[in-house]
Amino acid sequence: MAIVEPYSVTLLDQFRALARRLDAAPHRQRGELIQGFLAEHGWADANRVYRGLRKVGWSSGRKTRSDAGSTALDEQVLRELGAAIRPGIRKNGKVTMEVPNAISLMASNGRAIPVGASRVRTLLRRAHLDARSAALDTPHVPMSSLYPNHVHQTDPSLCLLYYAPNGEQRVLRDEEIHRNKPAWVERIGNLKCWRYVLTDHMSSVVIVRYYQAKGETQTNLYDFLLYAWRQLDALGCPFHGVPELLVWDKGSDAGGAIHNALRALQVETWAHARGQARAKGQVECANNIVEKLFESRLKFEPVRNVDELNTAAEAWYRAFNANAIPHYDSRLKRIGLAQPQARYALWQTIRQEQLRTLPDDELCRYLLTAEPEPRKVRATGAGGLTVSFRHPSAKQSLVYDLSGIAGVFRDMTVTVSPLVYGANQVLVTIADYKGDEQTHVIDPVAFEQTSGFRADAPVFGQEFRALRDTPIEEAAKTADRTAYPGRSDEEIEKAKARNAAPFGGLNAHSHLREVYVPEYMKRRGEVVEVAHPVRVAEQILTVTDICARLASVMGRGWRPEYYAAIKDRCPEGAPERELATLRAWLEQPAEAPARPALRAV
């Protein structure tokens, strides 16, 4: 690692005086002047003097060597040395893999390193692969917001305060919260105190609240957001309202319930990548401000529980945001501001159309438990492709028309969730065949109260309006246009009505006469021996069955007295084949001569 010399003003003046003497002295006497300067200051390394001379702008004027800048160390090996050093650099700046150790490691693995450790350090420094370069913060793109309440940032963190069951305020000491000794922190369990901080990116307003819990919870986070966004007139706090974008970390984004609630409030969320806390650096700094400017005061005036802690915190952030803390300037000092401003004063520049107030608390609590509900698209009497949904702000189920959304068809399933802002609007989510989701904000269908017709329905004789084709209808039309190319939709329907052959006619079966079929060897078989036929006894119908069968076929021609006649004629019944003969006998004129009686077989 490069050596950084702390040069005082006096030492720099001495270097300037030495530079003037070196310029005036012959070349052969310059070495004596350097040695004298070393002896005067008790130094042993002449390079230390030359570094100081370069600091004041002196150059020896020596001609640069022709091989200056070149090295015998292969560039790939140099990069590998830098790669070996980099993982051993901790966040606190400690270097666990130093250059000599890296040289030993890489040389033992077949890398040729023909230069010493000092030269390797120089080469690493020039290539920005040394430990000091790795420890430097990478530049970042500063972000802006358009107006107050455009972007909020939130972050929960474990507070060093906690409260014993007897109400005594205690503070965790450094040795108790050491990362390698977390047992004491875990021992206090539910007594731990969590600090939740929210900032408005535009005005840098800071809101803080404390919760006593074992860890971070969705319930506490949502309760804090509602607290921060609620209008706190009793505290004299002008800040309130729902943002358009909420920036938080991955841990806060883990829960689906709070995500659904924020979506209903039309708050877009963005979670920064793990390890990139600088993406929400404003609220990270706000946590530090709260710890230093507020929590440090609690040592001198302790509070007994979290409720008293929150009361004190409210008084502090109200004074901090208003720049009303005695003898302390808490105004926002941002580069680019013409002059520092109080945070509340800057937030007050919000316009009416930019301020979205929070709905009543009961509806907000409901949103945390309400999940998107599946609905099947129907073609109902309301017209179009619709779904029904009971919005929490409505007294009855409402109808929502999805006909204007591409990709919607009958009997498909969509998910519907309520939106707070707007007149009973809902958020409809549609997934395509690849699983990609699209969301749409839909207004309820309005109906005429007197007639019950849709308010937007076309009127007979005045207007005609056709629905857009669904994906199923589009696919059907595409298939028809392919089968009947070059024809309009009307011509295609006419062609289908007269059974015109698709594709202009195809050789669908005549070509099968020309198909080559191999000749097969004839197989010999055995003649089936048929046994002597067995006579099957014919079923004899009873008198009741005969009457029922004849009554069903004769209809109105059937008479009740026929039963006695049939019973007298064939008391033992008759085979089924005689039914037609019996019917003819019953229907013959009464004067016809009697026929011989039928006998049962």
> What letter would DSSP give residue 594?
P
What's the one-letter identity of residue 199?
T
Distance, CA of 378 to CA of 388 (rounded, Å): 9
What is the pLDDT, as a whole number, of residue 273?
Answer: 56
- Residue 286 CA to residue 80 CA, distance in Å, equals 40
Measured in whole angstroms, the distance separating CA 163 from the mean position of its chain's CA atoms is 37
Contact 34, 60 (CB under 8 A): no
Residue-level pLDDT at 99: 84
The pLDDT tens digits of the residues spanning 428-484 come to: 888 776 777 777 788 887 777 777 666 666 677 666 555 556 566 677 778 778 877
The first and second tokens of residue 18, run together, are 């030495």
How far apart are alpha carbons 470 and 410 in whole angstroms?
8
Q: Tell me, what's the pLDDT at 270?
A: 85
Is residue 264 within 8 Å of residue 370, measured between CB atoms? yes
- pLDDT the model gives residue 352: 92
pLDDT, residue 465, reads 56
What are the helix (H) ranges across 358-469? 361-369
* pLDDT on residue 383: 66
Is the separation of the CB atoms in 171 and 159 below 8 Å?
no
Measured between alpha carbons, how far is residue 444 from residues 32, 340, 410, 448 in Å? 95, 48, 18, 13
CA distance 226 to 261: 11
Q: Tell me, what's the pLDDT at 467?
A: 57
Structural contact between residues 81 and 107, judged by C-beta atoms closer than 8 angstroms? no
Q: Is 162 exposed, middle or buried (0-12, 13-18, 19+ CB in 10 A)?
A: buried
**pLDDT recorded at residue 401:** 83
Q: Are 601 and 540 in contact (CB under 8 A)?
A: yes
Q: Which residue has the tokens 């089936």?
A: 528
Q: Where does residue 452 fall: left (phi above 0), alpha (psi -120 to 50 degrees), or beta otherwise? A: left
At 580, give phi and psi (nearest 5°): -65, -35
What is the chain's length?
601
Residue 430 has a pLDDT of 83
558 vs 239, 427, 549, 552, 591, CA distance in Å? 97, 71, 11, 9, 19
Residue 592 pLDDT: 42
Question: Residue 322 CA to chain centroid, in angstroms?
Answer: 37
Task: Report d(CA 248, CA 279) in Å as an integer.
Answer: 9
328: left (phi over 0), alpha (psi -120 to 50) or beta: beta
167 φ/ψ angles, rounded to the nearest 5 degrees: 90, 0
Sequence-ordered list of residues with C-beta below 8 angstroms from that of 170, at least 6 positions apart, any chain:
161, 162, 163, 164
Q: Do the Cβ atoms of 386 and 400 come closer than 8 Å?
A: yes
Distance CA 502, CA 480 (A): 9
Q: Which one, of 527, 574, 572, lies nearest residue 550 by Cα?
A: 574
Query: What is residue 251's predicted lDDT score, i.e. its pLDDT?
Result: 64
**What's the chain's Rg over C-alpha atoms?**
47
Question: How many angstroms separate the first and last alpha carbons of the chain?
Answer: 124
Q: In the block, which residue shows the tokens 């006497």?
A: 29
| H runs (alpha helix) in 127-234 | 131-135, 183-187, 218-229
Residues of the chain with pLDDT under 70: 1-6, 61-71, 88-93, 134-142, 162-168, 170-191, 234, 250-255, 272-280, 381-383, 433, 452-458, 461-473, 530-537, 590-601
Residue with tokens 């050596």: 3
Indicate the helix (H) or strand (E) that contains 156.
Answer: strand 151-163
What pLDDT score does 41 carry?
Answer: 85
> Rounded to whole angstroms, what are the CA distances from 442 to 269, 369, 395, 527?
21, 22, 18, 78
- The DSSP output letter for 213 is -
302 token code pair = 């302790």
Query: 569: closest CA among 592, 594, 593?
Result: 594
Report the mean per-residue pLDDT for the chain. Answer: 79
